[in-house]
Amino acid sequence: MAAEIAVTIGAHPEIATTLSHPVLLRHIDAKYGRLPDVVHEAMRPPATAAGVTIIRPLAIGDDELGHTPYDWRTAAAQAGDRAHRSASFELDVAMLLLARCAGEPFGWEGQQGGRLVNNIVPTPGHEHEQSGASSTTLLSPHTEDAFHPDRANLLMLGCLRNPDRVGTTVSSVRNTELDAAQRETLLRPRLPILPDVSYGTGFDDAPAPPIATLGSDEGQLTLRFDPAYTPLDDADPEFRSAYRHLAAELERVCITAALAPGELLLVDNDVVVHGRVPFTPRYDGTDRWLKRVNIRLPQRPRTAEAAEDGYGQRVVAPFRTSRGNRT
Protein backbone atom coordinates (compact mmCIF):
# COMPACT_ATOMS: atom_id res chain seq x y z
CA MET A 1 0.00 0.00 0.00
CA ALA A 2 2.88 2.37 0.80
CA ALA A 3 4.44 1.62 -2.57
CA GLU A 4 1.15 2.35 -4.30
CA ILE A 5 0.82 5.71 -2.53
CA ALA A 6 4.45 6.62 -3.19
CA VAL A 7 4.11 5.89 -6.91
CA THR A 8 0.75 7.68 -7.17
CA ILE A 9 1.83 10.97 -5.63
CA GLY A 10 5.58 10.80 -6.29
CA ALA A 11 8.38 11.66 -3.86
CA HIS A 12 8.33 15.38 -4.65
CA PRO A 13 10.38 17.58 -2.27
CA GLU A 14 7.29 19.53 -1.21
CA ILE A 15 5.63 16.27 -0.13
CA ALA A 16 8.59 14.36 1.29
CA THR A 17 10.18 17.21 3.26
CA THR A 18 7.68 17.34 6.13
CA LEU A 19 5.22 14.57 5.09
CA SER A 20 2.31 16.85 6.05
CA HIS A 21 1.25 17.76 2.51
CA PRO A 22 -2.57 17.53 2.18
CA VAL A 23 -2.36 15.14 -0.78
CA LEU A 24 -0.33 12.61 1.21
CA LEU A 25 -2.50 13.03 4.30
CA ARG A 26 -5.64 12.29 2.29
CA HIS A 27 -4.11 9.07 0.97
CA ILE A 28 -3.06 7.97 4.47
CA ASP A 29 -6.47 8.67 5.98
CA ALA A 30 -8.32 7.05 3.09
CA LYS A 31 -6.30 3.83 3.10
CA TYR A 32 -5.01 2.91 6.56
CA GLY A 33 -8.43 1.52 7.47
CA ARG A 34 -8.10 -1.01 4.64
CA LEU A 35 -5.10 -2.69 6.22
CA PRO A 36 -5.83 -6.20 7.55
CA ASP A 37 -7.18 -6.65 11.06
CA VAL A 38 -3.93 -8.30 12.12
CA VAL A 39 -2.08 -5.05 11.39
CA HIS A 40 -4.51 -2.99 13.46
CA GLU A 41 -4.23 -5.53 16.27
CA ALA A 42 -0.44 -5.36 16.19
CA MET A 43 -0.49 -1.58 16.46
CA ARG A 44 -2.56 -1.49 19.64
CA PRO A 45 -0.80 -0.03 22.71
CA PRO A 46 1.35 -2.69 24.41
CA ALA A 47 -0.85 -4.49 26.94
CA THR A 48 1.79 -5.93 29.28
CA ALA A 49 3.59 -4.33 32.23
CA ALA A 50 6.73 -4.20 30.04
CA GLY A 51 5.00 -1.56 27.90
CA VAL A 52 6.77 -2.52 24.66
CA THR A 53 6.08 -4.65 21.61
CA ILE A 54 8.36 -5.72 18.75
CA ILE A 55 6.54 -6.00 15.43
CA ARG A 56 8.15 -7.74 12.49
CA PRO A 57 8.93 -7.57 9.66
CA LEU A 58 8.61 -4.80 7.12
CA ALA A 59 10.22 -5.82 3.84
CA ILE A 60 13.40 -3.75 3.60
CA GLY A 61 16.16 -4.33 1.08
CA ASP A 62 19.46 -2.80 2.15
CA ASP A 63 20.48 -2.11 -1.44
CA GLU A 64 17.32 0.01 -1.91
CA LEU A 65 18.12 2.41 0.93
CA GLY A 66 21.24 4.06 -0.40
CA HIS A 67 23.87 5.28 2.05
CA THR A 68 22.98 6.08 5.64
CA PRO A 69 22.89 9.90 5.61
CA TYR A 70 25.06 11.99 7.93
CA ASP A 71 22.15 13.93 9.42
CA TRP A 72 18.37 14.24 9.39
CA ARG A 73 18.37 17.12 6.88
CA THR A 74 20.19 15.01 4.31
CA ALA A 75 17.83 12.11 4.98
CA ALA A 76 14.77 14.30 4.45
CA ALA A 77 16.23 15.80 1.27
CA GLN A 78 17.10 12.39 -0.18
CA ALA A 79 13.57 11.11 0.45
CA GLY A 80 12.28 13.76 -1.95
CA ASP A 81 15.10 13.46 -4.50
CA ARG A 82 14.18 11.06 -7.30
CA ALA A 83 17.82 10.91 -8.39
CA HIS A 84 18.70 8.93 -5.25
CA ARG A 85 16.06 6.28 -5.98
CA SER A 86 15.94 5.58 -2.23
CA ALA A 87 13.22 3.51 -0.59
CA SER A 88 13.23 6.00 2.31
CA PHE A 89 10.09 7.86 1.20
CA GLU A 90 8.13 4.65 0.70
CA LEU A 91 9.15 3.58 4.22
CA ASP A 92 8.06 6.98 5.56
CA VAL A 93 4.62 6.32 4.07
CA ALA A 94 4.55 2.81 5.53
CA MET A 95 5.42 4.20 8.97
CA LEU A 96 2.61 6.75 8.72
CA LEU A 97 0.09 4.07 7.69
CA LEU A 98 1.05 1.94 10.68
CA ALA A 99 1.11 4.89 13.07
CA ARG A 100 -2.34 5.96 11.86
CA CYS A 101 -3.63 2.50 12.79
CA ALA A 102 -2.45 3.18 16.34
CA GLY A 103 -3.56 6.80 16.68
CA GLU A 104 -2.55 10.25 15.44
CA PRO A 105 1.05 10.63 14.21
CA PHE A 106 2.54 14.08 14.77
CA GLY A 107 5.78 16.05 14.64
CA TRP A 108 7.31 19.11 16.31
CA GLU A 109 7.86 22.50 14.71
CA GLY A 110 11.16 22.80 16.58
CA GLN A 111 12.51 19.32 15.80
CA GLN A 112 13.63 18.01 12.39
CA GLY A 113 11.72 20.77 10.61
CA GLY A 114 8.30 19.54 11.74
CA ARG A 115 8.67 16.22 9.92
CA LEU A 116 6.10 13.56 10.83
CA VAL A 117 8.68 10.76 10.46
CA ASN A 118 12.08 11.52 11.99
CA ASN A 119 15.36 10.01 10.84
CA ILE A 120 17.69 8.87 13.61
CA VAL A 121 21.28 8.63 12.38
CA PRO A 122 24.68 9.26 13.99
CA THR A 123 25.81 12.76 13.09
CA PRO A 124 29.40 14.09 13.04
CA GLY A 125 29.98 16.58 15.83
CA HIS A 126 27.11 15.25 17.96
CA GLU A 127 28.73 12.05 19.19
CA HIS A 128 28.64 12.93 22.91
CA GLU A 129 25.36 14.81 23.34
CA GLN A 130 22.14 13.47 24.82
CA SER A 131 20.09 13.27 21.62
CA GLY A 132 19.23 10.80 18.88
CA ALA A 133 22.15 12.13 16.80
CA SER A 134 24.72 10.91 19.33
CA SER A 135 26.65 7.65 19.17
CA THR A 136 29.77 7.12 21.31
CA THR A 137 28.05 8.08 24.58
CA LEU A 138 25.31 6.22 26.40
CA LEU A 139 21.93 7.75 25.52
CA SER A 140 20.40 7.87 28.99
CA PRO A 141 17.00 6.25 29.51
CA HIS A 142 14.33 8.91 29.14
CA THR A 143 10.70 9.63 28.39
CA GLU A 144 10.48 11.01 24.85
CA ASP A 145 9.91 14.80 25.06
CA ALA A 146 9.30 14.53 28.81
CA PHE A 147 9.30 18.32 29.09
CA HIS A 148 6.06 18.75 27.16
CA PRO A 149 2.41 17.97 28.01
CA ASP A 150 1.74 17.08 24.35
CA ARG A 151 4.48 14.42 24.23
CA ALA A 152 3.69 11.16 22.49
CA ASN A 153 1.64 8.47 24.18
CA LEU A 154 3.23 5.91 21.87
CA LEU A 155 6.63 6.01 20.22
CA MET A 156 7.36 3.87 17.16
CA LEU A 157 10.94 3.13 16.14
CA GLY A 158 11.52 1.40 12.81
CA CYS A 159 14.90 -0.11 11.97
CA LEU A 160 16.24 0.38 8.45
CA ARG A 161 19.84 -0.59 9.11
CA ASN A 162 21.73 -1.82 12.19
CA PRO A 163 24.78 -3.84 11.11
CA ASP A 164 26.47 -3.58 14.52
CA ARG A 165 23.37 -4.75 16.41
CA VAL A 166 23.31 -1.56 18.48
CA GLY A 167 20.86 -2.05 21.32
CA THR A 168 17.89 0.14 22.19
CA THR A 169 17.19 -0.03 25.93
CA VAL A 170 13.68 -0.02 27.39
CA SER A 171 12.53 -0.03 31.02
CA SER A 172 8.99 0.07 32.43
CA VAL A 173 8.17 1.93 35.62
CA ARG A 174 5.52 -0.74 36.28
CA ASN A 175 8.25 -3.34 36.75
CA THR A 176 10.13 -1.27 39.35
CA GLU A 177 9.98 -1.60 43.13
CA LEU A 178 9.46 1.62 45.10
CA ASP A 179 8.39 1.96 48.70
CA ALA A 180 5.48 4.16 49.76
CA ALA A 181 7.69 7.07 50.83
CA GLN A 182 9.59 7.06 47.53
CA ARG A 183 6.36 7.01 45.54
CA GLU A 184 4.93 9.86 47.58
CA THR A 185 8.07 11.94 47.05
CA LEU A 186 8.16 11.36 43.29
CA LEU A 187 4.42 11.97 42.88
CA ARG A 188 4.86 15.60 44.02
CA PRO A 189 6.01 18.25 41.50
CA ARG A 190 9.55 19.16 42.51
CA LEU A 191 11.76 19.90 39.49
CA PRO A 192 11.33 20.99 35.86
CA ILE A 193 12.44 19.00 32.83
CA LEU A 194 14.06 21.10 30.09
CA PRO A 195 13.85 20.47 26.31
CA ASP A 196 16.76 18.51 24.88
CA VAL A 197 19.34 19.96 22.51
CA SER A 198 17.43 18.86 19.40
CA TYR A 199 15.07 21.79 20.15
CA GLY A 200 17.90 24.31 20.55
CA THR A 201 19.44 25.97 23.61
CA GLY A 202 18.73 28.80 26.03
CA PHE A 203 15.92 27.09 27.94
CA ASP A 204 17.73 27.46 31.27
CA ASP A 205 16.45 31.04 31.55
CA ALA A 206 12.85 30.22 30.59
CA PRO A 207 10.09 29.90 33.21
CA ALA A 208 10.32 26.27 34.30
CA PRO A 209 7.43 25.00 36.42
CA PRO A 210 8.11 21.85 38.44
CA ILE A 211 6.52 18.61 37.29
CA ALA A 212 5.93 15.28 38.99
CA THR A 213 8.23 12.40 38.08
CA LEU A 214 5.52 9.80 38.74
CA GLY A 215 1.85 9.90 37.87
CA SER A 216 -1.09 7.52 38.03
CA ASP A 217 -3.53 6.15 35.47
CA GLU A 218 -6.34 4.16 37.08
CA GLY A 219 -3.99 3.21 39.90
CA GLN A 220 -1.11 2.22 37.60
CA LEU A 221 2.13 4.20 37.63
CA THR A 222 3.07 6.53 34.79
CA LEU A 223 6.38 8.32 34.34
CA ARG A 224 8.05 11.54 33.14
CA PHE A 225 11.79 10.95 33.36
CA ASP A 226 14.79 12.59 31.73
CA PRO A 227 17.74 12.89 34.13
CA ALA A 228 20.03 14.48 31.53
CA TYR A 229 17.71 17.50 31.35
CA THR A 230 16.53 17.63 34.98
CA PRO A 231 18.39 20.00 37.40
CA LEU A 232 18.77 17.38 40.12
CA ASP A 233 21.32 19.48 42.04
CA ASP A 234 18.47 21.87 42.89
CA ALA A 235 16.48 19.19 44.72
CA ASP A 236 16.51 18.31 48.41
CA PRO A 237 18.28 15.13 49.59
CA GLU A 238 15.00 13.24 50.01
CA PHE A 239 14.03 13.79 46.38
CA ARG A 240 17.49 13.02 45.04
CA SER A 241 17.54 9.77 47.00
CA ALA A 242 14.14 8.68 45.67
CA TYR A 243 15.11 9.70 42.13
CA ARG A 244 18.38 7.76 42.32
CA HIS A 245 16.50 4.69 43.54
CA LEU A 246 14.05 4.98 40.63
CA ALA A 247 16.96 5.29 38.17
CA ALA A 248 18.60 2.20 39.68
CA GLU A 249 15.34 0.27 39.44
CA LEU A 250 14.86 1.27 35.81
CA GLU A 251 18.37 -0.01 35.12
CA ARG A 252 17.61 -3.26 36.97
CA VAL A 253 14.54 -4.04 34.86
CA CYS A 254 16.08 -2.84 31.60
CA ILE A 255 15.60 -4.88 28.43
CA THR A 256 17.86 -4.37 25.42
CA ALA A 257 16.42 -4.77 21.93
CA ALA A 258 18.93 -4.97 19.08
CA LEU A 259 16.52 -4.24 16.25
CA ALA A 260 17.06 -5.86 12.87
CA PRO A 261 16.09 -4.22 9.56
CA GLY A 262 12.33 -4.27 9.17
CA GLU A 263 11.60 -4.59 12.89
CA LEU A 264 9.47 -2.01 14.68
CA LEU A 265 9.63 -1.20 18.38
CA LEU A 266 6.36 0.17 19.78
CA VAL A 267 6.90 1.89 23.13
CA ASP A 268 4.29 3.14 25.61
CA ASN A 269 5.84 6.54 26.30
CA ASP A 270 3.63 7.07 29.36
CA VAL A 271 5.13 4.03 31.08
CA VAL A 272 8.50 3.20 29.49
CA VAL A 273 11.82 5.02 29.22
CA HIS A 274 14.13 4.20 26.34
CA GLY A 275 17.78 4.84 25.52
CA ARG A 276 20.64 3.44 23.47
CA VAL A 277 23.96 1.76 24.19
CA PRO A 278 27.12 3.48 22.91
CA PHE A 279 28.58 2.58 19.53
CA THR A 280 31.36 3.81 17.27
CA PRO A 281 30.07 5.28 14.00
CA ARG A 282 32.00 4.75 10.78
CA TYR A 283 30.38 7.55 8.73
CA ASP A 284 30.85 5.42 5.64
CA GLY A 285 27.19 5.08 4.66
CA THR A 286 26.60 1.81 6.52
CA ASP A 287 25.79 3.10 10.04
CA ARG A 288 22.65 2.47 12.08
CA TRP A 289 19.52 4.16 10.70
CA LEU A 290 16.17 4.27 12.45
CA LYS A 291 12.93 6.08 11.74
CA ARG A 292 10.81 7.47 14.58
CA VAL A 293 7.15 8.45 14.76
CA ASN A 294 5.38 10.15 17.68
CA ILE A 295 1.79 8.97 18.15
CA ARG A 296 -0.99 10.62 20.15
CA LEU A 297 -3.82 8.53 21.60
CA PRO A 298 -6.97 10.70 21.86
CA GLN A 299 -8.33 8.35 24.53
CA ARG A 300 -5.47 9.36 26.86
CA PRO A 301 -5.88 13.08 27.55
CA ARG A 302 -3.47 14.67 30.05
CA THR A 303 -5.86 17.10 31.68
CA ALA A 304 -3.64 17.56 34.75
CA GLU A 305 -0.88 18.99 32.53
CA ALA A 306 -3.09 21.25 30.40
CA ALA A 307 -1.74 24.47 31.96
CA GLU A 308 1.88 23.76 30.97
CA ASP A 309 3.18 25.76 28.01
CA GLY A 310 5.88 23.26 26.98
CA TYR A 311 8.50 26.03 26.63
CA GLY A 312 6.64 27.33 23.60
CA GLN A 313 7.28 24.18 21.55
CA ARG A 314 4.37 23.43 19.22
CA VAL A 315 3.25 20.21 17.62
CA VAL A 316 2.54 19.60 13.93
CA ALA A 317 -0.61 17.50 14.24
CA PRO A 318 -2.50 17.24 10.94
CA PHE A 319 -4.37 14.10 12.02
CA ARG A 320 -5.58 15.53 15.33
CA THR A 321 -9.27 14.98 15.91
CA SER A 322 -9.48 17.00 19.13
CA ARG A 323 -7.42 20.01 20.07
CA GLY A 324 -6.18 21.48 23.30
CA ASN A 325 -4.26 24.71 23.82
CA ARG A 326 -1.64 23.83 21.21
CA THR A 327 -2.06 22.97 17.54
Rounded to the nearest angstrom, the gap between the alpha carbon of residue 252 and the centroid of all alpha carbons in its chain is: 22
Is the separation of the CB atoms in 137 and 204 below 8 Å? Answer: no
pLDDT of 39-87, one tens digit each? 999 999 999 999 999 999 898 888 888 899 999 999 988 887 766 556 8
**pLDDT for the residue 77:** 87
pLDDT of 112-151, one tens digit each? 999 999 999 999 999 999 999 999 999 999 999 999 999 9
pLDDT of 284-312, one tens digit each? 999 999 999 999 999 999 988 988 999 99
Classified as helix, coil or strand, 148 is coil
Secondary structure, 3-state, 18-36: CCCCHHHHHHHHHHHHHCC
**pLDDT for the residue 325:** 38
**pLDDT for the residue 208:** 84
With a CB cutoff of 8 Å and minimum separation 6, the contacts of 116 are: 18, 19, 20, 92, 96, 105, 106, 107, 293, 316, 318
Give dist(CA 1, CA 99) in Å, integer.
Answer: 14
Percent of the chain exceeding pLDDT 90 equals 81
- CA distances for 65 relative to 22, 90, 130, 243, 287, angstroms: 26, 10, 27, 42, 12
**Regarding beta strands 315-316 and 139-142, do their DSSP bridges make them parallel or antiparallel, or are they unpaired?**
unpaired
**pLDDT for the residue 203:** 86
Query: How large is the average pLDDT for residues 172-184?
Result: 98
The domains located in the chain, with CATH, are 2-302 (3.60.130.10)
User: Pick from 223, 280, 232: which is nearest to 253 by CA?
Assistant: 223
**pLDDT for the residue 83:** 62
Residue 180 burial (CB count, 10 A): 7
